[in-house]
Chain A
Amino acid sequence: MSNVSLGTMAVSVGVAAAIAGLLVVAAGLAGRRSRWASEARLLVFVMMGAALAAFVVMERALITRDFTVAFVAEHGSSRTPALFNVATLWSALEGSILLWTLILCGYVVAVVVKFRHQAEDRMVGWVLLTLFVVSLFFFLLMLGPADPFIRFDPPVGYDGPGPNPLLQNHILMAFHPPVLYLGYVGFTVPFAFAIGALVTGRVGEGWLLATRRWTVMAWGFLTLGIVLGAWWSYETLGWGGYWAWDPVENASFLPWLTGTAFIHSVMVQERRGMLRVWNLSLVIATFSLTILGTFITRSGVLQSVHAFVESGIGPAILGFFALIVIVSLSLIAWRGDALRSPGRIDSPVSREGAFLANNVLFAVFAFVVLLGTVFPLIVEAIDGRTIAVGNPYFERMTMPVGFVLLFLMAVAPVLPWRKASGEVLSTRLLGPAVIAAVTMVVALLLGARGWSPLLAFGLGGFSGGSALRQVALASRRQGWRGLVGRTNGGMIVHFGVVLIAVAFAASHSYVRQGEFTMVPGDRVEISGHSLSYEGSQLEEHSNRVQRSARVLVDDVKVYEPGIATYPFAGQTIGIPSVRSTWRDDIALSVLQFPEGGNDEVVLRATVQPLIVWLWIGGLVMAFGTVLAVVPGRRRDPLLPASAKVGARTATKPQPESGEDSDAS
């Protein structure tokens, strides 16, 4: 049987399984079916099988270059290197929806396996129902507007153009999209639990505990996916940058912001039973924003360097987004009474007070990013002008928020729950403050100037010191267990954030760029580095013709940035080359090889300090996330972990927060 028929069959089975699952669970919840739980589980496995089959069929078609599949004919090519052949699947719309569906089904399977002992629970029923609805939507996309299995009749000797050249010249392309999707799609699970909690009215704390690890894992994948994406764009786009506040980058950043707010505020609800509506809204907002992100990426409403594909699935996704928002908001309104939470916060200077401030800041941050991203659309709709909102806006608006967040990141971890005395605070913050001061002095001695980068370094030292203090205290008490669990893993994540913040501030403030027209033998200086041009060479590869310049950097090593022409894709792209060290990066890219026969080159060099630490910071964040989901030391639920109620002065020794790594 042909790949097209096999694939279409698999997708149809998926649709059928999702519909059947939906009906079975609905009937079960209505009390009309007794064995619904086991039937639903079976249908989940069928759905997973269908998605996996469709995925395998598509990969087989891509690897065997089966051009009777239109997707392969349009995006595959016999000249694409093997690895990128596999990755071609997510280089275009239909394939990426297929990958999304596969990952979604994987998560649904994980849910039914994990909650198999509570399968009869109505809550789990509603969760499954929600998951079936979301899965059905994605399967239907593949049956309709984003059908990956359309038949194509290739002429004799046909060969495809291959994927977009930008997507087949770097290894990171094989990892960045799947990891990002693992993050995006992962938020479906907490969303389903939020819906389940709202419908069943069990809006207490149960659903939070049930989904905490899921949320943290999804968040970790999203973090890693975003960092890998920045890394990829730095290594392949040749503009010396890694983050441009581009609509698609913002689309991935928005759920990250709300997700980050959630994983902090959820702790307030666990401890104090407060912020129920807020937390539900954050989970729902995070999931909706992943869908909105897909809309922005895939519909072409906003111009973006990443919007590799445009298609007609925009209306479908926008409709789905509207459905999610309307249903969720109605449910929240309906459950209004049950959601009113008991409890209150005793003092703004307390752990929960800090989390509250954190949430306000993240909400503002997300609002600024969202507003800036869609603002050109709003203005155009209102008075027809086309405007742009870019870098200067986002930097100016988010920088103050970022500074306050860095400051909070230093103070919050040392704050006890309920309330803190000034004395406790100053004792605990002395060490971090010393580190902050030392950092600033050292930065000054190393030549750092300007108040904003220096403030960033100082605050970085402050929060880094604070995180270090927590981890040190916890591991002194608990040995290796002081590194795992949510609180301690979270501190490792904070280290990663500090690294990224410092590297971001440094690379942004001290970037130097130069454009040089050189002939062989020329030598130029930029930011204390020397570049000598030795001439160019032409290379032919299976998929491209590449002309590279040999540039000797600092008289040590030759780097070969170039320009590649992909004849079959009809595109010419730059192939940058980057020299990285712990201290600074030199990104080289060729702008042009002018005609004229004297082997001239127009070269651009971008020198930025500390770039490597961005990627290291991202990896540290991912590693910290893993540590955070490993169960930490269980806290005796009866131990008082916070200041005594009504205590006006903290005379008693308060337990250090390194100790209250919560039971998971």
Chain B
Amino acid sequence: MLVAVVSVSSLVFAAIDEGPALTNADRAYEIAKDFACPVCQGQSVAESDVVVSRNIRRQIRVWVDEGRSDGFIREQLVATFGEDIDYTPATEGITSLVWIVPVVASAVALSGLTLVFRRWRLEGELEASEDDEAVVARVRDGQR
């Protein structure tokens, strides 16, 4: 009981007290991580060393300093470089499937599992008959 209280309260405390606020540099870095470098393969804007990425990083920093929202920055970047720069698939249209399908699949798997367990329970418990016990006893004696 005490253990649960301690755990939950530390979780709540950690969730409420967010610690030192993100600096603009940190926020710019967080945003840059979510966009693909337009010219290199498999690296984000935050990671890439190429000139385009460094310019985008600088631009994101400018926007952050101006106090723009994440949504605004996203729109600007997608408008300039295209949708394939955004690592987060859109939640509308066909791309929303990538978010929905796994959730639906997990729900189906979970309910399937629940159904199977219920069926097993309804089938009743297996009881070892006397014959079964006799077989086991015979085998055990044979072992010794």
Contacts and interface: CB of A to CB of B under 8 A. Distances in A.
Interface of A: 237-241, 244, 246-248, 303-307, 344-346, 348, 353, 356-357, 360, 363-364, 367-368, 371-372, 375-376, 379, 382-383, 385-393, 397, 430, 433-434, 436-437, 440-441, 443-444, 447-451, 453-455, 458, 511-515, 574, 589, 591, 638, 645-646
Interface in B91-123: 94-95, 98-99, 101-102, 105-106, 109-110, 113, 117, 120, 123
B64 interface: no
A241 B47 contact: yes
B41 A386 contact: no
Interface in B23-70: 25-26, 29, 33-34, 36, 40-44, 46-49, 54, 57
A388 B87 contact: yes
B71 interface: no
B95 to A, nearest CB: 6
A305 B3 contact: no
B95 A646 contact: no
Contacts of A246: 42
Contacts of A348: 117
A385 B99 CA distance: 17
B11 interface: yes
Contact of A379 (B3, B4, B95): B95
B42 A437 contact: no
Given A375-B89, A437-B10, 18 more contacts: A344-B123, A345-B117, A363-B109, A364-B105, A367-B105, A386-B82, A387-B83, A387-B84, A391-B33, A392-B34, A437-B6, A440-B11, A441-B10, A444-B14, A450-B15, A454-B15, A514-B25, A646-B126
27 contacts: A246-B42, A247-B42, A303-B42, A305-B41, A306-B42, A345-B120, A348-B117, A364-B102, A364-B105, A375-B98, A376-B84, A379-B94, A388-B84, A391-B34, A393-B88, A393-B99, A397-B99, A441-B10, A449-B17, A450-B18, A454-B10, A454-B11, A513-B29, A574-B49, A591-B49, A638-B140, A645-B127
A120 B70 CA distance: 67
A184 to B, nearest CB: 20
Nearest to B22: A512
A372 B98 contact: yes
Given A244-B44, A450-B15, A646-B128, A364 B123 contact: no
A202 B49 CA distance: 56
Contact of A360 (B3, B7, B113): B113
A434 B3 contact: yes
B41 A449 contact: no
Nearest to A573: B49
Contact of A244 (B10, B25, B43, B89): B43
Interface of B: 3-4, 6-7, 10-11, 13-15, 17-19, 25-26, 29, 33-34, 36, 40-44, 46-49, 54, 57, 82-90, 94-95, 98-99, 101-102, 105-106, 109-110, 113, 117, 120, 123, 125-128, 136, 139-140, 143
A57 to B, nearest CB: 33
Contacts of A239: 43, 46-49
Given A348-B117, A392-B34, A451 B15 contact: yes
Nearest to B98: A375
Q: Report, nearest first, the 7 A-B pairs whose CB atoms are least far apart.
A: A390-B87, A239-B47, A449-B19, A305-B42, A451-B15, A454-B14, A386-B84
Contacts of A458: 7, 10-11
Contacts of B33: 391
Contacts of B101: 371
Nearest to A397: B102
Contacts of A305: 40-43
B83 A451 contact: no
Contacts of B99: 393, 397
Contacts of B106: 360, 364
Contacts of A382: 94
Contact of B87 (A371, A393, A441): A393
A72 B132 CA distance: 70
A164 B98 CA distance: 35
A240 B44 CA distance: 12
Given A345-B120, A364-B106, A638-B140, A388 B98 contact: no
A112 B127 CA distance: 44
Nearest to B109: A360
A481 B75 CA distance: 61
Given A305-B42, A430-B3, A441-B10, A390 B34 contact: yes
Nearest to B86: A388
B60 to A, nearest CB: 12
A458 B9 CA distance: 12
Given A441-B10, A447-B19, A449-B18, A346 B49 contact: no
Contacts of B41: 303-305, 307
A638 B125 contact: no
A451 B84 CA distance: 31
Nearest to B13: A444
A75 B90 CA distance: 41
B49 A645 contact: no
A345 B114 CA distance: 12
Nearest to A526: B25
Contacts of A238: 49
A353 B121 CA distance: 13
B89 to A, nearest CB: 5
B118 to A, nearest CB: 10
Given A239-B43, A379-B94, A391 B87 contact: yes
Nearest to A400: B106
A436 B10 CA distance: 11
Contacts of B40: 305
